Chains A and B, each alone.
Chain A
Amino acid sequence: MCKKNMEKSLDRSILKVSSLSKSFMNLQAVNDISFSLEKGDIFAFLGPNGAGKTTTLRILLDIIKADSGRIEWNLNGESNSLPPAGHIGYLPEERGLYLDIPVIRSLVYLASIRGMEPSAARIAAMQWLERLELADRSKEKLQALSKGNQQKIQFIASILHKPAFAILDEPFSGLDPLNQEKFIEYIKEINKQGTTILLSAHQMSLVEKIANKVFLINRGQEVYNGSLAGIYEAFGKKHIIDLLFKSPVTESIFNTLSGLESVNQVSDCQVQLTFGQQTDLNKVLAELSGFEGISNITSHKPDLHEIFLQLVKTHRK
């Protein structure tokens, strides 16, 4: 029975990465990481700058070769170590499109090289441009568009051919909050239509709205690999209290508080206190009443951003 379940689980896996490593000169960019994605996942691949995210994505796409490890793609019913280009969409971190060529021509070309018929690509491109309020600029050269609009075009280029698997490296970069929210909806929509998403982003508040799985990488190593719910389960049970004072305070005055794990001095007058999950908050609040000059006090569970910071800091130590 157990065996049958395992086989079923393996069947659903459309990307399986095992013990992947890559180094450049003396830098170990990726160090023995493993993860897998199942059909329908929105997999958040997170990590600080230089953690090894982009290197991993480039290896997955066969742009660079790994030193060791195994990659198994299973998108078109066949197991393959190389990505089937026609089934993959890629939004690179370093943006790049032909600036001196009309938007529509670039989009049709990029879809064509991934196997889409030019006529179908043109129709689909115009539909997406319409949705992103850029239809009237389809014949303009890309250089005439703002950075945010260029990002929209880049996004369209990565999903126009309706890929089974889309790698989106920093898709929210350069977008205003309104468009960031719109992108969230677009990503959810293409995911519902059958595209599995591997997402790398720094905007944790946006990531936690859409991802169902999280992989946290730091210095090339796995820090967390599991479901989004799991990361809250494992690291999100602590208590965070934000305090705002009328006059500057120092960190050391909080050392006497019971259950205190860490103090984050946000500004001269603002601190963020983290307490263990067993801490009695009533007791803490009673102790805080002895502090003078508190103008505001709020308490919450750590969000993904705070968990991310905490895990990265802990891993560095």
Chain B
Amino acid sequence: MNYFKQVITVTRWEFMRFFKPKNEALGIGIMLMVSVIFYFGGRYAFSESGEKPRLTVFRNLDSKLTERLSLDFELTKVPAEQKSSVISEIGKSKEGILLVKDSTTFTIHAYKYTRVQKKLRSILDEFNRTQAMQSIGISEADLAYILSPAVISESFIYTDNSKSRVILAYAFAALMIMAVFLSFAYQFTAITGEKQLKITEQIVSAISPQVWMDGKIFGITLTGLSSMFTYSMLGIIGGILFFQFTDVPASAILEYLYLPSILVYLPFALTGILIWNALLAAIASVITDPNNSGKSALMMLPLLFVLSSFLVVRDPDSGLSVFLSWFPLTSATSMPMRWAITEVAAWQIAGSFLILVATFYLLRKLAAKIFRVSILISGKEPSSSEIFKLSKES
């Protein structure tokens, strides 16, 4: 049985172990349900009840303010002497508000904080602003004119869709973060689980550690890619729905889906996920007890590198961004992000990609070597120097 046939067998096995369409559909269903609950729950929580809240003011309150307040509140006017009895009544009934104005200060008496007070505050702010404008002789129309924003028309030389490209770049990074999380979870479960279940010995008597490692890397990468694809589709559908609600034509989503950027992103993302899987597999293979291992934290290392790609959005042409787009542990995300939002020469893209591929090739070799020496170690976890020493001996 040749290498490729064996790798395909292991890849298919690892993919099928973790790719569970039923669970994926269930996850998406739960996510949609939670979104719907949040959306409608939120709308309900912040909706008006229809009944005006009760507000008590003193008879001597400014007539304009009283008139304004009556639009939103069920207003009761009482003499100032009844202040304490009104406060006492609020305490007993646990509802209602008393608004008192002493010279320049408003005092709100209520049983507890509610959203009604927020509304009252905004009316008082508005009233206060109008009073201030009148005192210095500015009309409301004049003030609106002063505060109006500048009329700006944007024209970009690189692309007219710079803003949507930034969104696309963020989407690239978000998808990569998701892939890294999934790889982390699956590689960790797969390798530490197999070590604990003592499956490794059975398997490596049939295939070489390199075949097994490659199969795992490819299989779990495929699982990650399938999730990335599912959630990308969901994101696109979500975007179309969002536009529908905001009266933007559904076709506007195409502004965000810049095909050349996506075509550059795909091979970079694929190689990047393969690299992370190789690294995560190497780390997982030295962990003997996942519950008590100090090395488990190392599994989060890839996330640090992927998150650093966000720096590219800040200034895609800076020296740091250029470095991130070449450095193989960050380039998988940084180069497509850079290319989405700024001009990058084709030779840079090709060079960065070649380094990425070479890094993957070497890392998978290293991962298999570490896996080979760590495979039968149980009990005390080997230190880095022990692994290095054993690797040289094997």
Interface residues of B in 1-39 (CB under 8 A from A): 1, 6, 9-10, 13, 17
**Residue contact B376 to A109, C-beta cutoff 8 Å:** no
Which residues of chain B have C-beta atoms less than 8 A from A64's C-beta?
376
Q: Which of A65, A97, A101, A113 contacts B17 (CB 8 A)?
A: A101
Which residues of chain B have C-beta atoms less than 8 A from A99's C-beta?
197
Which residues of chain B have C-beta atoms less than 8 A from A157's C-beta?
202
What's the least CB distance linking B250 to chain A, in Å? Answer: 43
Complexed CA–CA distance, A294 and B128 (Å): 117
**Residue contact A114 to B198, C-beta cutoff 8 Å:** no
**Residue contact B1 to A114, C-beta cutoff 8 Å:** yes
A92 with B17, Cβ < 8 A, contacts A61-B205, A63-B205, A114-B1 known: no
Q: What is the predominant secondary structure among interface residues of chain A facing chain B?
A: loop
Complexed CA–CA distance, A200 and B394 (Å): 26
A65 with B206, Cβ < 8 A, contacts A86-B1, A96-B197, A113-B6 known: no
Which residues of chain B have C-beta atoms less than 8 A from A115's C-beta?
1
Q: Does B204 contact A (CB under 8 A)?
A: yes
Q: How many residues of A contact B (CB 8 A)?
A: 25
Q: Which of B17, B201, B206 contacts A110 (CB 8 A)?
A: B206
A58 with B206, Cβ < 8 A, contacts A97-B197, A112-B9, A113-B10 known: no
Q: Does A186 contact B (CB under 8 A)?
A: no
Q: Does A292 contact B (CB under 8 A)?
A: no
Chain A residue at smallest Cβ distance from B1 = A115
Q: Does B61 contact A (CB under 8 A)?
A: no
Which residues of chain A have C-beta atoms less than 8 A from B1's C-beta?
85-86, 113-115
Interface residues of B in 29-51 (CB under 8 A from A): none
Which residues of chain A have C-beta atoms less than 8 A from B81's C-beta?
none
A85 with B199, Cβ < 8 A, contacts A63-B376, A101-B17 known: no
Which residues of chain B have C-beta atoms less than 8 A from A83's C-beta?
205
Complexed CA–CA distance, A94 and B378 (Å): 12
Chain A residue at smallest Cβ distance from B8 = A112
Q: Which of B6, B13, B198 contacts A92 (CB 8 A)?
A: B198
Interface residues of A in 26-66 (CB under 8 A from B): 58, 61, 63-65
**Residue contact A113 to B206, C-beta cutoff 8 Å:** yes
**Residue contact A109 to B202, C-beta cutoff 8 Å:** no
**Residue contact B393 to A65, C-beta cutoff 8 Å:** yes
Q: Does B234 contact A (CB under 8 A)?
A: no
Q: Does B342 contact A (CB under 8 A)?
A: no
Q: Does B138 contact A (CB under 8 A)?
A: no
Q: What is the predominant secondary structure among interface residues of chain B facing chain A?
A: helix
Complexed CA–CA distance, A92 and B200 (Å): 10
Which residues of chain B have C-beta atoms less than 8 A from A101's C-beta?
17
Complexed CA–CA distance, A142 and B200 (Å): 17
What's the least CB distance linking B66 to chain A, in Å? Answer: 71
A90 with B205, Cβ < 8 A, contacts A58-B376, A63-B376, A113-B6 known: yes
Chain B residue at smallest Cβ distance from A98 = B199
Chain B residue at smallest Cβ distance from A112 = B9
Count of CB-CB pairs between chains A and B under 8 Å: 63
Complexed CA–CA distance, A96 and B201 (Å): 8
Q: Does A88 contact B (CB under 8 A)?
A: yes
What's the least CB distance linking B137 to chain A, in Å? Answer: 79
Chain B residue at smallest Cβ distance from A91 = B202
What's the least CB distance linking B34 to chain A, in Å? Answer: 27
A96 with B202, Cβ < 8 A, contacts A86-B1, A112-B9, A113-B9 known: yes
Complexed CA–CA distance, A96 and B203 (Å): 10
**Residue contact A90 to B376, C-beta cutoff 8 Å:** no
Complexed CA–CA distance, A114 and B206 (Å): 6
Q: Does B207 contact A (CB under 8 A)?
A: yes
Which residues of chain A have C-beta atoms less than 8 A from B199's C-beta?
96-98
Chain A residue at smallest Cβ distance from B197 = A96
**Residue contact B201 to A92, C-beta cutoff 8 Å:** yes
Interface residues of B in 308-340 (CB under 8 A from A): none
Query: Mask for B351-394, Cβ within 8 A of A = 1, else 0?
Result: 00000000000000000000000011000000000000000011
Complexed CA–CA distance, A110 and B202 (Å): 9
Which residues of chain B have C-beta atoms less than 8 A from A85's C-beta?
1, 205-207
Which residues of chain A have C-beta atoms less than 8 A from B375's C-beta?
63
**Residue contact B376 to A92, C-beta cutoff 8 Å:** no
What's the least CB distance linking A50 to chain B, in Å? Answer: 15
Complexed CA–CA distance, A139 and B197 (Å): 20
What's the least CB distance linking B243 to chain A, in Å? Answer: 43
Most buried by A among B10, B202, B376: B202
**Residue contact A63 to B202, C-beta cutoff 8 Å:** no
What's the least CB distance linking B16 to chain A, in Å? Answer: 8
What's the least CB distance linking B380 to chain A, in Å? Answer: 12
Chain B residue at smallest Cβ distance from A116 = B1
What's the least CB distance linking A146 to chain B, in Å? Answer: 17
**Residue contact B201 to A63, C-beta cutoff 8 Å:** yes
Complexed CA–CA distance, A61 and B1 (Å): 17
Which residues of chain B have C-beta atoms less than 8 A from A113's C-beta?
1, 6, 9-10, 203, 206-207
28 pairs of residues in contact across A and B, judged by CB atoms under 8 Å: A58-B376, A63-B205, A63-B376, A64-B376, A65-B393, A65-B394, A83-B205, A85-B1, A85-B207, A88-B205, A90-B202, A90-B206, A92-B198, A92-B201, A92-B202, A94-B201, A95-B198, A96-B194, A96-B198, A96-B199, A96-B201, A97-B202, A98-B17, A98-B199, A99-B197, A109-B13, A114-B1, A114-B206
New contact pairs (12) apart from A85-B206, A90-B202, A110-B202, CB-CB < 8 Å = A63-B201, A65-B394, A85-B207, A88-B206, A92-B201, A92-B202, A96-B200, A96-B201, A101-B17, A109-B9, A112-B9, A113-B206
B residues near A, CB below 8 A?
1, 6, 9-10, 13, 17, 194, 197-207, 375-376, 393-394
8 smallest A-B Cβ distances: which pairs?
A96-B198, A115-B1, A96-B199, A90-B205, A94-B198, A61-B205, A92-B201, A113-B206
